[in-house]
Amino acid sequence: MAEKSRATVKKRTRSAAASGRGKFIAVASLLLFVVFQAFVYHFYFALPLSINDQPRQAFKGETIGKLLARKGIALQRGDLISVSGKVLQRGGGKPPLIEVNQKRTALDRVLKNSDSLFISNGTDVQERKIRLLEPLPQPTLQEDEGPFITLVTHGYPGLKMIQKGEFSQEIASEEIIRPPQPAIIRRSTNVPSLVVALTFDDGPDPIFTPQILSVLQREGALATFFVLGKKAQEYPEIVQQLIASGNALGNHSFSHPDLGQASRANIEHELATTERILTDIAGHNTKWFRPPKGSLSPLLISTAALMGYRLVLWDIDPWDWSKPGAETIYQRVATKVRPGAVILLHDGGGDRTQTVAALPKIIALLRSQGYYFVTLDQLPND
Ligand code: ZN
């Protein structure tokens, strides 16, 4: 009995040991399985990342497009909108923005661990604005009474800049670039006098323009100065002196290029820049334009006309710029003068000592012939 029970105890001990080992194996394999699952999940399926700074998970190998579809996120293009904000075309704006780690990318980009994804809908785009120049009509005024008619000034049409939406044609803005100046007709009982118009190009010049101005003042004569925008900008006080003494201004471009060869944009820029400078200095613009070197093209003529300019060259050119001597300059004017003549001289662009010297003689001779010296604005005939 004692023997038997000892054997039974032995047997029991052996089987208890066997069942303990079995449990350990089961727990261990379960643990291993869980660790394996976590390992697989972590390294195979789940990629931690962020969308717009919110933590999210993607599957390994998943593209941005698939991830967004799975999350139910649909990105939209922006719209094309008019200048007043109306939608002209749905989806006509910018495409959605998709960035990974602050670099733009596409929907087929495969996501990686810790990617920082930033997405947003496309922004709206406003239609382009086009600029149009429109003339503003000018009134005609009459002064005094009598049967004889002279034109005091042609005046000029105003100019309005309109910005319109390219597709909608909606008006975005309207700006009066230049108010219209009335044409003035003078009636009188006297026969109109003999007149000539002295014109000076390429100034203002700090040395020669004041000298010419003092000759004109001394002789009681007026002239028209075709100034360069860049010189006027440099010497605004000389331009002011010219106007204060009753002389007229003309636009001779900003930088004296050959505008007969220039594009429309270039012509407009040269004229408009000078126009702004002169308006700033004088408080009004000029209607007169003389192209540098007298160089012309159909485009130049039409562009200047559309901007409201009257284009003027000259009748008499004594070539004073070539410095032929004061006496020659005087003789060339004296032999060619006729009523209504426009005489070309230069106050800038070089040494104008000869022009300054010839001027008192020219004025004295023409005055003795009965001429009056007027600005282009006062010249009655075109
Ligand atoms: Zn010139």
Encode pLDDT of 328-377 as tens digits.
999 999 999 988 899 999 999 999 999 999 999 999 999 888 888 999 88
**What pLDDT is stored for residue 367 in this prediction?**
87
Listed in sequence order, the residues at least 6 apart from 281 whose beta carbon sits closer than 8 Å to its beta carbon are 232, 236, 239, 240
Average pLDDT over residues 38-67: 83
The confidence score (pLDDT) of residue 149 equals 65
Distance 227 CA to ligand 1 centre (A): 8
Q: Has residue 202 got a pLDDT over 80?
A: yes
Q: How far is CA 185 from CA 182, 281, 341, 379, in A?
A: 10, 27, 20, 11
| pLDDT beyond 70 at 43 | no
Q: Averaged over 111-136, what is the pLDDT?
A: 93
Residue 312 pLDDT greater than 50, yes or no: yes
Instruction: Spell out a b/e string for 89-116, using b for 16 or more CB atoms within 10 Å of the CB, else e.
Output: eeebbeebebebeeeeeeeeeebeeebe
Q: Which residues are catalytic?
A: 201, 346
pLDDT given at position 240: 95
d(CA 285, CA 265): 20
- 21-30, 47-56, 189-198, 213-222: range with lowest mean pLDDT: 189-198
152 falls in which pLDDT band (50, 70, 90)? Answer: low
Q: Cβ-count burial of 55 within 10 angstroms (0-12 exposed, 13-18 middle, 19+ buried)?
A: exposed
- What's the rounded mean pLDDT across residues 305-326? 94
Is 1's pLDDT higher than 70? no
Arithmetic mean of pLDDT over the chain: 88
pLDDT of residue 41: 63
pLDDT at residue 382 in the model: 44
Asked whether residue 39 carries a pLDDT value surpassing 80, the answer given is no
Going by pLDDT thresholds of 50, 70 and 90, the confidence category of residue 151 is low
- What DSSP element (H or E) covers 177? strand 171-178
The pocket of ion ligand 1, defined by CB under 5 A, consists of 201-202, 292
pLDDT confidence of 189, banded at 50, 70, 90? low
| Mean pLDDT (whole number) for 290-306 | 92
- Asked whether 210 and 182 are in contact (CB, 8 A), the reply is no
Q: How far is the CA of 138 from the centre of ligand 1 (A)?
A: 30
Of 35-44, 53-62, 74-83, 252-261, which range is least confident? 35-44
Percentage with pLDDT > 70 across the chain: 89
Distance between CA 219 and CA 363 in Å, rounded? 7
- Kindly give the distance from the C-alpha atom of residue 290 to the centroid of ligand 1, in angstroms, as a whole number: 8
Band the pLDDT of 18: cuts 50, 70, 90: low
> Residue 301 C-alpha to ligand 1 middle, in angstroms?
17
pLDDT at 2 over 50: no
Q: How close is the Cα of 349 to the center of ligand 1, in Å? A: 8
Q: What is the mean pLDDT of residues 124-141?
A: 92
Q: Which of the four pLDDT bands, split at 50, 70 and 90, describes residue 82?
A: very high
pLDDT at 188 over 60: yes
Kindly state the average pLDDT of the residues 38-48.
Answer: 70
Ligand 1 centroid – CA 193 distance (Å): 30
pTM, entire model? 0.53
- 178 pLDDT tier (thresholds 50, 70, 90): confident
Is the per-residue pLDDT at 81 higher than 90? yes
For ligand 1, the distance from its centroid to the CA atom of residue 207, given in whole angstroms, is 17
pLDDT number for residue 173: 93
Residue 379 has pLDDT above 90, yes or no: no
Q: Report how far ligand 1's centroid is from the alpha carbon of 268 (Å).
A: 18
Residue 249 clears pLDDT 90, i.e. is over it: yes
CA separation, residue 367 to residues 6, 66, 138, 371 (Å):
159, 93, 35, 5
Asked whether the beta carbons of 83 and 170 are under 8 A apart, the reply is yes
